[in-house]
Copies of this chain bind each other. A is one copy, B any other.
């Protein structure tokens, strides 16, 4: 290591208390730059309990960033949701939803669209810089209001989500590290940020519209998109992804849940640094995207296939390879039908799809999600 290594700062954020009084905390790491020339970045991992690989990626990012020329402030938050990541049911981690309420942990962020119009009216003539500064502050104020001023209190998930969101609103670029169940790597990317998708080393991109549905990525880019639209409607032109509207948020799906691999995490971290280099957050030309075929599909064409029957599934289709019409995605074993029925049912579709992920267990009920596929897709340039 050189004597010029960057020094990170570490703080600890309290996000919850259990019945015994045990406090749950989240560590927050940050590399700060005295005179940031590039955008600020926020990266978190493990909002869903079983999706742990992002913690290893943050480990590798912290290591690699020690020796980078950093141009913007970078905040990294592993173990974003300790309530979820500590919750075991049997051997596995019950991770996608609050075990008490069933609410998806990644649908509890906040955005109130009604703040947009008054803001544009107030700041229609402000400078670009001032607009950015004031709107960031407004979003942070909104969250602090939710956190601190409610006599009826907050749900467990809101208390966690709002504290994370308060940090994320201070950044321009937001990466929320998730995984699928058994899954290929894939990326959720706002439609307007499509060109950025090619800087990650991820072969599948889902292009999402600009609607808020409670997730971290949406909670951080949708406000800016709505603001930009509202200014344009008032005749003041801004372009998303440029100038003070250089705001992008991604949900990065790192592969399968319930596992970490530090070597793979090192590769994942380099892909993220490639994106940060592209955006000018770091000045490190050695990080550049790998060559690969990158497929994309619009969210409306990203389809879940639900099991037509209960049974035990032999998943056949490989991820990332187009599957021809009629080729089986899976075969479902039904031993109770052996001898007097059909013990094997083949699941097929009537058009070519690109399989992205499948269910984590062979055992399914009728109606369990079997696969998610790109049902209409194209190659990104």
For residue A8, which residues in chain B have a CB less than 8 angstroms away from its CB?
A: 339
For residue A258, which residues in chain B have a CB less than 8 angstroms away from its CB?
A: 360-363
Could you tell me if B19 and A22 are in contact, using CB atoms closer than 8 angstroms? Answer: no
For residue A79, which residues in chain B have a CB less than 8 angstroms away from its CB?
A: 20-21, 335-336
Complex copy number for this chain: 4
For residue A36, which residues in chain B have a CB less than 8 angstroms away from its CB?
A: none
Select which of B19, B313, B344 is within 8 A of A93 by beta carbon: B19
Q: For the complex, is A205 an interface residue (Cβ under 8 Å from B)?
A: no
Could you tell me if A362 and B52 are in contact, using CB atoms closer than 8 angstroms? Answer: yes
Q: What band does the interface of chain A fall in when counting residues whose beta carbon is under 8 Å from B?
A: 35 or more
Could you tell me if B58 and A335 are in contact, using CB atoms closer than 8 angstroms? Answer: yes
Select which of B18, B151, B337 is within 8 A of A349 by beta carbon: B151
Chain A 293-315 near chain B by CB (<8 Å), digits 1 or 0? 00000000001111111111110
Smallest CB gap from A361: residue in B? B258
A359 to B29, CA, bound (A): 30
For residue A365, which residues in chain B have a CB less than 8 angstroms away from its CB?
A: 16-19, 83, 86, 88, 100, 156
Smallest CB gap from A45: residue in B? B335
Q: For the complex, is A331 an interface residue (Cβ under 8 Å from B)?
A: yes
For residue A360, which residues in chain B have a CB less than 8 angstroms away from its CB?
A: 91-92, 258
Chain A, range 69-104, C-beta contacts under 8 Å to B: 78-79, 82-83, 85-104
- Given A102-B97, A155-B306, A363-B88, the answer on whether A314 and B56 have CB atoms closer than 8 Å is yes
Could you tell me if B310 and A20 are in contact, using CB atoms closer than 8 angstroms? Answer: yes
A303 to B154, CA, bound (A): 12
Chain A 26-60 near chain B by CB (<8 Å), digits 1 or 0? 01010000000000000000000110100110110
Chain A 136-174 near chain B by CB (<8 Å), digits 1 or 0? 000000000000000111111111000000000000000
Q: For the complex, is A10 an interface residue (Cβ under 8 Å from B)?
A: yes
Q: For the complex, is A267 an interface residue (Cβ under 8 Å from B)?
A: no
Could you tell me if B100 and A62 are in contact, using CB atoms closer than 8 angstroms? Answer: no
Which of the segments A122-130, A208-216, A218-226, A366-374 contacts the partner chain? A366-374
Q: For the complex, is A259 an interface residue (Cβ under 8 Å from B)?
A: yes
**22 A–B contacts from the bound complex (CB under 8 Å):** A18-B365, A19-B364, A20-B79, A20-B336, A21-B335, A22-B22, A25-B336, A27-B336, A52-B312, A59-B333, A78-B338, A79-B336, A89-B89, A89-B99, A91-B360, A93-B361, A98-B102, A153-B307, A155-B306, A156-B367, A157-B367, A258-B360
